[in-house]
Amino acid sequence: MVTSTRAHLETAALTAEERARHAKELREFAARLRSVSERGRKLLASITEMAYHGHGQDRKADVAYLPELYESTGLDVESMYALLQELQAARLVAVEDPYPFEDIKISPCASGWNALGAISRFAEAEKVSLRDIIVDVRFELLP
């Protein structure tokens, strides 16, 4: 299903109320994020930026396209797949569709709530560095 990225972002805001409601999920998400290497978190930040701020108006919801990731990150195939395996093991992303048309889908929390979508929307609205939150795991920047 293809949706407008902008419309999707509008529904993914992270308010103080939402953060309180999803506090347990955010703690679990932070723990999964900390279990990943810094290089893996950098790739996750790139995936998040592509999924929510990528090129074009119509995209699959919560998806980054692998060819765009290769182009933007400069990672070689072996490095990319190793980091993607790390992110998949932490249940942060899933690789969808067969090679060579793989999509990287951001995984929601167990409840179905999309922490990365909400964090991305917050970072954009509040002009906070998404990379600081994801790569450095600085959740104190959230409301």
Mean pLDDT by 10 residues, the chain (143 residues): 39 69 92 96 95 73 88 90 96 87 91 92 90 94 82
Q: Is residue 125 part of a domain?
A: yes
CB-based contacts of 100, cutoff 8 Å, min separation 6: 66, 67
Q: Which of 106, 21, 5, 129 is closest to 56 using CA atoms? A: 5
CB-based contacts of 58, cutoff 8 Å, min separation 6: 2, 3, 4, 5
CA distance 132 to 135: 6
Q: Is residue 143 part of a domain?
A: no
Domain around 49: 2-138
Backbone angles phi, psi at 4, to 5 degrees: -70, 130
| pLDDT for 83 | 96
| pLDDT for 5 | 39
Could you give the dihedral angle defined by the CA atoms of residues 62, 13, 137 and 74, in that order, rounded to the nearest 10 degrees? Answer: 40
Which CATH number do you get for residue 9?
1.10.10.10
| Tokens of residue 112, six digits | 């179905």
pTM as predicted = 0.85
Q: Is residue 103 part of a domain?
A: yes
Q: Is residue 107 part of a domain?
A: yes
Per DSSP, the three-state class of 60 is: strand
Q: Is residue 76 part of a domain?
A: yes
Number of structural domains, the chain?
1
| pLDDT for 77 | 86
